[in-house]
Each structure stands twice: as structure tokens, then as C-alpha cells.
A = this chain, B = another copy of it.
Amino acid sequence: MTKRRVYVDNAATTPVHPQVMKEMLPYFTQYYGNPSSIHSFGRQAKHAMDKARERVAAALGAATDEVFFTGSGTEADNWAVKGVAFANKGRGNHIITTKIEHHALLHTCQYLEKHGFEVTYLDVDEYGRISLKQLNEAIKDSTILISIMFANNEIGTIQPVGEIARIAKEKGIYFHTDAVQAMGNVKIDVKEIGVDLLSISAHKIMGPKGIGVLYIRKGIRIDNLVHGGAQERRRRSGTENVAAVVGMGKAAQLAAENLEQHTKRMTSLRDRLIDGIIERIPHVKLNGHPTERLANNVNFSFEFVEGEALLLSLDMAGIAASSGSACTSGSLDPSHVLLAIGLSHETAHGSLRMTLGEANTEEDIDYILEQLPPIANRLRELSPLFKQCEGGKVSV
């Protein structure tokens, strides 16, 4: 009997969609030309790039010349923030972001703080939402950039990006949003939102790893991050990663086309999982917003147990989940996002994130609901923080 394997870590990364793979494949060994070359091999590659750029533009509601391919979501975030900061430092040195951004944003901001910039990190409420009032109050004459993520990678909370964009526009401040997790799970139309810069990453939407996109609204003043050849209209250098660009194009197209159907299915699976856990396991707390949350995000704190132990036990049962962001699960610190929504250190340590994807089924959910309670129970019995009362009732 092969063990069941249930992958519910789709916020960390996703498998490449078969249709995406199929379109990428010829660009490794057959149409391998460099798009900058003028011969037929190069023109084939260039043509594929153009088509992919059109698809991404269509998926985001952008113009094709506002779409710039990067080497990752992280690079898109770095570029947006450093590029705007350095290009506009004549106008001011103040940046506003939040305490719950991805490290790609936070560590970039910390780096800028070392180079003469001032950064305000907005608080969030217990559900992970920023306060528009606090945002308004944080704005100064020297504010040149607001960067607030569209949806959080750990707890799935969605921010009011449209209203943030309005505030930013009113004050003449650039607004960037990290939409890496939102893409595919929320409708994104850059013009409707009114955002100036927006980052996405292919590997979160069944595209390949190592390719991102930065949407840059026409007219934005931004420095380059990676200097060199004339690729991406002289704004992002390096031989184009044609196969990955093709993959990003197809993945973005599928994400936009399937959005409604996908989120409907994810929401139903998500709620089955959330309800099932609350029913079966005492002393759990749903992290994130009850309604303004990504359709595929489930994040619980399990009191008295530590997340890694939970993860490894689930892994032995074939269930791949995460404890906080993919990037923090290797670290020892509890997630900055969970602390920002007010969890105690020990509760933050006991968090479990399950992020659903295309491949998941109701059977997967039921399997998790069958495996998870005894695992939580065993670890709680090992825990000195937890005492089981004799009558089978649970107390602390």
C-alpha cells in the first residue's frame, strides 16, 4: 500500500501545471535561442516572450510595456522598493509598510534604513488588517512610497488595497503591493485598484520557480536593480529566462481564467477543513481574518504543542504543511506575522498553516481531519504545558 501524500503547502510553492509544463518544454532544447539575437532562433524566443508578456498583461489588466520579468517574487519586491527609494530620494526618504510583510519586503526596508531611509511599520489588528486611519496618520511630507501586501502568506488576510491606493494617490505617493499570494486567489486588476507597482511570482500559481513579474505603471520613476544588457526595455538585465517566462505567461493566464471556479472550490475545501478542525480538536485558534482571507489559507494555533513537531508528525502521515511562512520554518524565531496579530510566543510556536491547491480533494481534507487529532493529542500528552483531566476533559 503506498502511503497517501497530501500536499497542503501551496503557499510555499506549487507543482507546475501540466499545461504550463507543456508550453515551457520546447524552450529548453528546441527553441533555445536568445531573444536578443536577430536570427531565427532568437526571433522564435522573442516571439514567445511577447506572447507571454501579453498574457501576463491581460491577467493583471496592465499594458504589455508595464510588465517586467524578474528572477523571482523576491527580486520584484526588492526592485520595487529599492528602485523607487533610490530614484526618488530627492523628494523624500520615508517609506510606509506593515509589520506583517514578507521578508522580501521587510529585509529590504531594513537595508534601506541603513542607507538613510526612514521606515514606518504599520501595526495590524488581531485579524491581520491594517488601519487606514493609522496609515493616513503615518503619511508625512517626506513619504515617497507605501508598500503594503495584497494578501498575507501566513494567515491569508487580505488588505483593502483599493482604499490604500486612493489614499496614496490623493497624497501623490507611490503605492506598491506584494500580490505574490493574492494572484490566483483574488481578482487583480491594476487599473481598477489604482496601484503603481505590483509583484507576483509564478511558482505560487502553478508556474515555475525563479520567475516573477513587477508591474510598473507607466511614468513611475524607478532605478534599476540589476544592471547590464538592454533586456526588458533596459530596465532588468540578464539573458531572458525564456522557458520560465513562457511558464509565467501560461500560469498567469490560467490563474486569471480559472479564478472564479478555483476560489469557489478552494473556499469550500478550506471551510470544510476549518470547521472540521474546530469540531474535532479543542484549544485551537484560527489565525487570520474570518472572511477577508485567501480562499486556500487555513492557519491554526494549537495550544501546548510546538509547530515543527506537528509538521514532522503530519509529514510521517504523508501530509505536507507548514508552520508559518516557508522562509521562517527553517528558523527558530516564531513568525513575526503571528506575533503582530497578538499571539503569545508559545501560541505562535504552535501554529500550523495548510494552504490548499488545485490538486486537493475532499478526500484529502477528510484524511487530514482523521490524522490531525491523534497527532495533536499525542504531542499534547508529551507537553508539560498541558494536563489531561481524568474525566477526559481538558484543562490547562
Flag whether A322 is at the interface (Cβ < 8 A).
yes
> What's the minimum C-beta distance from A299 to chain B, rounded to whole angstroms?
15
Contact A228 B18 (CB under 8 A): no
Which chain B residue shows the least CB distance to A241?
Answer: B210
Binds B, one of A29-37, A289-297, A369-377: A29-37
CA distance A103 to B161 in the complex (A): 38
> What's the minimum C-beta distance from A268 to chain B, rounded to whole angstroms?
24
CA distance A208 to B37 in the complex (A): 17
**Residues of B close to A72: CB separation below 8 A:** 71, 226, 238-239, 241
CA distance A14 to B230 in the complex (A): 19
> What's the minimum C-beta distance from A139 to chain B, rounded to whole angstroms?
25
**Residues of B close to A327: CB separation below 8 A:** 36, 228-231, 237
CA distance A12 to B241 in the complex (A): 13
CA distance A181 to B133 in the complex (A): 55
Binds B, one of A58-66, A104-112, A378-386: A104-112
Binds B, one of A142-150, A189-197, A277-285, A308-316: A308-316
Contact A9 B74 (CB under 8 A): no
**Residues of B close to A111: CB separation below 8 A:** 224, 227
Top 3 A-B residue pairs of the complex, sorted by shortest distance between their CB atoms: A71-B71, A210-B241, A229-B327
- A9-B33, A229-B325 given. 19 additional CB < 8 A pairs? A7-B41, A9-B34, A12-B36, A13-B33, A16-B28, A24-B28, A37-B326, A39-B315, A71-B210, A73-B239, A77-B228, A78-B228, A104-B238, A107-B237, A209-B242, A210-B211, A230-B327, A231-B327, A237-B327
